[in-house]
Amino acid sequence: MEKKQRVSLWYFILAFWALIILQEVYVASQHMDEVPYSQFKGWVQDGKVAEVSITETMIYGKLKEEKEKSLGFQAVRVDDPDLVRLLEEQHVEFAGVVISTLWKDVASWVVPILVFAGIWFWLLRKLGQGAGGGFMRIGKSKAKVYMEKDIPTRMKDVAGVDEATEELLEVVEFLRSPEKYTRIGGKIPKGVLLVGPPGTGKTLLARAIAGEAEVPFFSISGSEFVEMFVGVGAARVRDLFEQAQAKAPCIIFIDELDAIGKARGSGPMAHEEREQTLNQLLVEMDGFDPRVGVILLAATNRPETLDQALLRAGRFDRQILVDRPDRKGRAAILAIHAKAIKLAPGVELESIAAMTPGMVGADLANVVNEAALLAIRRGRETVQQEDFQEAVERVIAGLERKNRVLSHDERRRVAHHEVGHALIALSLPGSDPIHKISIIPRGVAALGYTLQLPEEDRYLYTRTELQNRIAVLLGGRAAEELVFGEASTGAADDLQKATSIAKRMVKDYGMSELLGTVALDQSAKPAFLPTADTYSAGTYSEQTAQEIDSEVRRLIDEQGQRVRTLLAALHPVLLSGAKKLLTAEVMTGEELKALLPPKEEESVLQ
Ligand code: ADP
Ligand code: MG
Ligand code: ZN
């Protein structure tokens, strides 16, 4: 109803403007010669004028000789008391006209009012929308709760997260035949929390469950709860549950739960609104009875920040880990997405899966898409293995930027830097194999890159392996120093990564003798993200902080020393490798290995 009203108002305003514009056009089309008042008066005195009409401001008239053909003339009216007498004397037909001024008078006050009213309505609607639905309906969540029926997603569209799938199928089973569960008296979990790194398919899984169970799916994203008006988020939560219970059996899905579920009173942004929303969510969760067939699903990639109250029994009491897929899982995910594209015979998705440890479903979907785009660019009918390989590199290292022109000196430096990395990796047993060395700039910052791809998924790293990683990272800079006598800015990123690994060795893994086997960083960290490059400030004394810094420095210096010794022994190979790379731009690890003198390779491997 409200909508209808608004539309008719707009029509009214539009019609008004159209009228005014039409009038202007009409007047413009009625073009007349404008003459000075004195000339007009002269014509009257000479008896040339046939007829005139007089408005408050203008005089319009026609001459006797051209009465038929022309539109006549106009003159600006002057306050002239003689005019009427003169017209009568000359027997000119005359009349006063007021109609046009009336129009203008009306328009001059109606139009501004309408314009203001329009702006006012528009603003109110804007505000109203921000707060949830039409204005006057603040707190109703109609506009933001997406209720979907007949979701096409199925469990077969999700792969590589088998454990999560299994657990969730139970939920589907419950939604299909709740009696089976309620008869025995078993309690179905109220809330199921999907936890895992970004892009692993949490949102996809939630949709797949709704699709399988063939029930309505209410979804809302946590970030949408964060509103400017206090109380709106809470009202919306209430409304969400109200709507859902009316439609049971159904699924409520809150994506990115951490946006509202952050621990109360934590962080600099701990504000009233979020706490109210969270409290309301807790109240609703306690209040609803899962036996009516409403299942609450939520997803987050930061479970460690959630308020403990949310995780208590009777709330999100079941947590399901949606982890990064393993090699088999990645192959399955690739196969799902590859269904949409034309594969050349002989494409081995298995080997692509082997090349992509650590990638999540979203990355793999991206790889498939990039491969298809590359195949199109190369004018192929089908996507080949080669396209996939290039696509993996693109996703890992960014786009090639062939038209970034480096000077000759810079290219030489980059070549030695990259060969430095690669030689260290080849020399240290247990390093990930070198897939490719390149001096074609890629991505935002990389001028060259050495792509190491692990042979298998890794869940643990030993101390030696971490030390070796630091060594490989330092190899680039050491090679520059060895060949050119000084370092360049090109090693900044390497140093950052090396430092971060060293820091975690000291603070998190207890791998420093000096500080002992103590976890110095007690801040909450996601358990499923064992990346070496996240660290945060911990809580320890000033003195410990100093010790950490010196230990980190020692670890890095130690490796730096080792790398310099290794490279000095391989100096000739460094030079010949870089020379080859300069002409070829790209080389494989095998090609570099071939340059190593056999006996030297032996001795290095000791
Ligand atoms: P999340 O919610 O965990 O961040 P999404 O569910 O939004 O991740 O995943 C983004 C996209 O990545 C999906 O739409 C899908 O195309 C792809 N994807 C992610 N995980 C998987 C998976 N396990 N199987 C198939 N496709 C996946
Ligand atoms: Mg998501
Ligand atoms: Zn480097």
232-246 and 272-287 helices cross at what angle (nearest 10)?
A: 20
Take atom 12 of ligand 1 and give the residue whose Cα is closest. 362
| pLDDT at residue 412, as a whole number | 93
Per domain, the residue ranges of the chain are 32-98, 144-264+274-321, 327-397, 408-605
Chain-centre distance of CA 427, in angstroms?
Answer: 41
Give the residues surrounding ligand 1 with Cβ less than 6 Å away.
158-161, 198-204, 299, 333, 336, 361-362, 365
| pLDDT at residue 142, as a whole number | 41
Take atom 18 of ligand 1 and give the residue whose Cα is closest. 361
Q: How far is 325 from 197, CA to CA, in rounded Å?
A: 11
* Ligand 1 atom with the shortest distance to the CA of 325: 23
Backbone torsion region of residue 177, taken as left when φ is above 0, otherwise alpha when ψ lies between -120 and 50, otherwise beta: beta
* Ligand 1 atom with the shortest distance to the CA of 207: 6
Indicate the SS3 state at residue 459. Answer: coil
Assign domain 144-264+274-321 to a CATH class.
alpha beta
Ligand 2 center–CA 205 separation, angstroms: 9
Determine phi and psi for 141, rounding to 5 degrees: -100, 20
CATH number of the 32-98 domain = 3.30.720.210
Closest CA to 483 of 599, 585, 598, 577: 577
Ligand 2 center–CA 201 separation, angstroms: 7
DSSP letters, 155-202, are GGG--S-HHHHHHHHHHHHHHH-HHHHHHHTPPPPSEEEEE-STTSSH
Is residue 130 within 8 A of residue 169, CB to CB? The reply is: no
| pLDDT at residue 229, as a whole number | 62
Q: Is the pTM of this model over 0.75?
A: no
* Ligand 1 atom with the shortest distance to the CA of 322: 3
Ligand 3 center–CA 499 separation, angstroms: 14
Q: How far is 105 from 117, CA to CA, in rounded Å?
A: 19
* Ligand 1 atom with the shortest distance to the CA of 336: 25
Ligand 2 center–CA 510 separation, angstroms: 34
Take atom 24 of ligand 1 and give the residue whose Cα is closest. 158
- Ligand nearest to the Cα of 207, by number: 1
Residue with tokens 């042979």: 455
Strand order in the sheet with 58-63: 33-34, 73-76, 58-63, 49-54, 93-96
Active site residues: 418
* Ligand 1 atom with the shortest distance to the CA of 194: 3
Take atom 14 of ligand 1 and give the residue whose Cα is closest. 204
DSSP letter at 457 equals -
- Provide the β-strand partners of residue 450: 437
- Ligand nearest to the Cα of 195, by number: 1
Q: How far is 562 from 464, CA to CA, in rounded Å?
A: 13
Residue with tokens 């929308």: 129
CB atoms within 10 A of CB 295: 26
Take atom 17 of ligand 1 and give the residue whose Cα is closest. 362
Ligand 2 center–CA 37 separation, angstroms: 78
Topology of domain 408-605, CATH? Methane Monooxygenase Hydroxylase; Chain G, domain 1 (1.20.58)
| pLDDT at residue 205, as a whole number | 92
Closest CA to 473 of 521, 428, 438, 529: 428
- Longest C-alpha distance within the chain, in Å? 130
Q: How far is 357 from 327, CA to CA, in rounded Å?
A: 7
- Encoded tokens for 293: 């067939």
- Ligand nearest to the Cα of 205, by number: 1
- Encoded tokens for 147: 């209720």
Is residue 206 within 8 A of residue 249, CB to CB? The reply is: no
Q: How far is 252 from 244, CA to CA, in rounded Å?
A: 7
pLDDT, tens digit, 9 for 90 and up, residues 375-397? 999 999 999 999 999 899 888 87
| pLDDT at residue 202, as a whole number | 93
DSSP letters, 115-129, are HHHHHHHHHHHHHHH
Q: How far is 365 from 195, CA to CA, in rounded Å?
A: 20
pLDDT, tens digit, 9 for 90 and up, residues 498-522? 999 999 898 888 888 887 777 777 6
Ligand 1 center–CA 202 separation, angstroms: 7
Ligand 3 center–CA 522 separation, angstroms: 31
- Ligand nearest to the Cα of 197, by number: 1
**By percentage, how much of the chain surpasses pLDDT 90?**
28
- Ligand nearest to the Cα of 200, by number: 1
Residues of the chain predicted below pLDDT 70: 1-8, 27-31, 67-70, 98-102, 126-146, 225-231, 263-271, 444-445, 522-539, 599-606
pLDDT, tens digit, 9 for 90 and up, residues 27-63? 666 667 788 888 888 888 888 888 888 877 888 888 8
Is residue 238 within 8 A of residue 280, CB to CB? The reply is: yes
Q: How far apart are the first and last CA of the chain?
A: 83
The mean predicted confidence, pLDDT, of the chain is 82
CATH number of the 327-397 domain = 1.10.8.60
Ligand 1 center–CA 352 separation, angstroms: 18
DSSP letters, 378-400, are TT-SSB-HHHHHHHHHHHHH--B
Q: How far is 334 from 159, CA to CA, in rounded Å?
A: 9
- Encoded tokens for 445: 């910052």
Take atom 27 of ligand 1 and give the residue whose Cα is closest. 361
Take atom 7 of ligand 1 and give the residue whose Cα is closest. 203
In a mutational test of the pocket of ligand 1, which residue from 158, 168, 204 has the highest number of ligand atoms less than 8 Å from its CB?
204
| pLDDT at residue 199, as a whole number | 92
Ligand 2 center–CA 458 separation, angstroms: 25
DSSP letter at 442 equals B
